[in-house]
C-alpha cells in the first residue's frame, strides 16, 4: 500500500487549509510561559539573594565600627584586643606583648563585656 505523491500532496493541502489564519501566540499564551520563570526568579531573590546581601552589609558595618581597644573574635577563632587600625588590616594583641596582623574582613564579632 503505497501512497502516491498526488494523494500525499492533497492531504497536506487539506491539512493546511484547516489551520487557523493566524498562528501567532496570543498575549495570554506568552504570559503563561513567562510567569512561572518570573515567580522562580522572585523566590530566588527573596530566599537567597536578599538575605545574603543583608548579612554582607551587616558584616561590613561591623568591620567599619571596630575601634581601638575593643576585643574582637576572628573567623579563625582568635580572641584579641585591637591595637592598631589600618586601611585593610588590624593589629590585635592576643597575649601580653604578642600581636598579630589580620585582615579586617576576618573579624567575626566584637566582644562586649
Spatial contact of 64 and 54, defined as CB atoms under 8 Å apart: no
pLDDT at 18: 61
Distance CA 29, CA 37 (A): 14
pLDDT at 12: 67
What's the DSSP call for residue 26?
A: P
Non-local CB neighbours of 83 within 8 Å, separated by 6+ positions: 68, 91, 92, 93, 99
Non-local CB neighbours of 7 within 8 Å, separated by 6+ positions: none
Q: What is the pLDDT of residues 9-32, one digit of tens each?
A: 677 666 656 655 555 567 788 888
**Mean pLDDT score of the chain, rounded to an integer?**
86
Residue 83 has pLDDT above 50, yes or no: yes
Distance CA 52, CA 64 (A): 18
Amino acid at each position: 500500500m503505497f501512497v502516491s505523491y498526488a494523494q500525499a500532496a492533497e492531504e497536506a493541502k487539506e491539512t493546511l487549509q484547516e489551520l487557523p489564519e493566524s498562528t501567532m501566540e496570543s498575549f495570554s499564551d506568552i504570559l503563561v510561559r513567562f510567569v512561572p520563570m518570573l515567580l522562580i526568579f522572585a523566590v530566588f531573590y527573596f530566599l537567597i539573594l536578599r538575605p545574603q546581601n543583608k548579612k554582607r552589609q551587616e558584616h561590613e558595618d561591623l568591620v567599619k565600627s571596630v575601634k581601638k581597644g575593643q576585643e574582637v573574635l576572628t573567623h579563625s577563632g582568635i580572641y584579641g584586643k585591637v591595637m592598631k587600625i589600618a586601611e585593610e588590616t588590624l593589629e590585635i594583641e592576643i597575649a601580653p606583648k604578642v600581636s598579630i596582623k589580620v585582615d579586617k574582613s576576618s573579624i567575626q564579632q566584637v566582644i562586649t563585656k
